[in-house]
Amino acid sequence: MWFQKEIRLPAVKRGFHLITDLLEAHLPELESINVGLAHIFIKHTSASLTINENADSTVRQDFERHFNHMVPENQPYYRHTLEGADDMPAHLKAAILGTSVTIPIRNGAFNLGTWQGVYLCEHRDNASKRTVVVTLQGE
């Protein structure tokens, strides 16, 4: 079985946001898959996806602080600044983290580790809603 769906995520403030439950809520088709894969792709160049800690919110706060330190705003060598100081840093952060994650499916649910969750990594101060494409395959 193959299935594909676009999911429009709500607009969120800059930071790292757990979206695992939201994705599962929009994917009742998961229940029909005993063994398979979910590929989740974000259709944007200034936001990204990753999988990490789902229990302690300080991990997400530390991610945001670290990436802001690692990829600072207002650098004199940035030329792509038309949309503001967070424009080029957002693209760099998205390139580092990536545009997709692949998750195993088992018995109708994402087969993540006990402390794992899917993050929407929003790198813009004033982002709009984001869209992800989820492709499910399995039997």
With respect to residue 48, please indicate whether it lies within any of the assigned structural domains: yes
SS3 content of the chain, % helix, strand, coil (to 5): 25, 35, 35
pLDDT of the residue at 103: 98
Residue 93 lies in a domain: yes
**Does residue 35 contact residue 84 with C-beta atoms inside 8 Å?**
no
- In the numeric block, the tokens 């402390």 are attached to 115
How many H-runs (helices) and E-runs (strands) does the chain carry? Answer: 3, 8
Mean pLDDT along residues 4-13: 98
105 within domain boundaries:
yes
In this prediction, residue 29 carries a pLDDT of: 97
In a domain, 59, yes or no: yes
Residue 94 inside a domain? The answer is: yes
Q: Evaluate whether residue 2 is within a structural domain.
A: no
- pLDDT above 70 coverage of the chain, percent: 100
Domain count, the chain: 1
In the three-class reduction of DSSP (H, G, I as helix; E, B as strand; rest coil), residue 126 is classed as coil
Note down the domain range covering 20. Answer: 7-73+82-138
CATH of the domain at 60: 2.60.120.460
Token pair 């969120």 in the structure block, residue: 12
Q: Would you place residue 13 in the very low, low, confident or very high pLDDT band (cuts 50, 70, 90)?
A: very high
Tokens describing residue 100: 């997709």
Residue 1 belongs to a domain: no
Asked if 105 and 30 touch (Cβ cutoff 8 Å), the reply is: yes
136: tokens are 């499910």
Assess if residue 115 is contained within a domain: yes
Buried b / exposed e across 14-48, counting CB within 10 Å, b at 16+?
Answer: bbbbbbbebbbebbebbeebeebebebbbebebbb
Q: What is the mean pLDDT of the chain?
A: 97
What confidence category does residue 57 fall into, taking pLDDT thresholds of 50, 70 and 90? very high
Looking at residue 23, its pLDDT comes to: 98
Task: Report the predicted TM-score, pTM, of the whole model to 2 decimal places.
Answer: 0.96
pLDDT range class, residue 36, cuts 50, 70, 90: very high
Q: How confident is the model at residue 12 (pLDDT cuts 50, 70, 90)?
A: very high
pLDDT digits (tens, 9 = 90+) for 18-35: 999 999 999 999 999 999
How many CB atoms are closer than 10 A to CB 138? 19
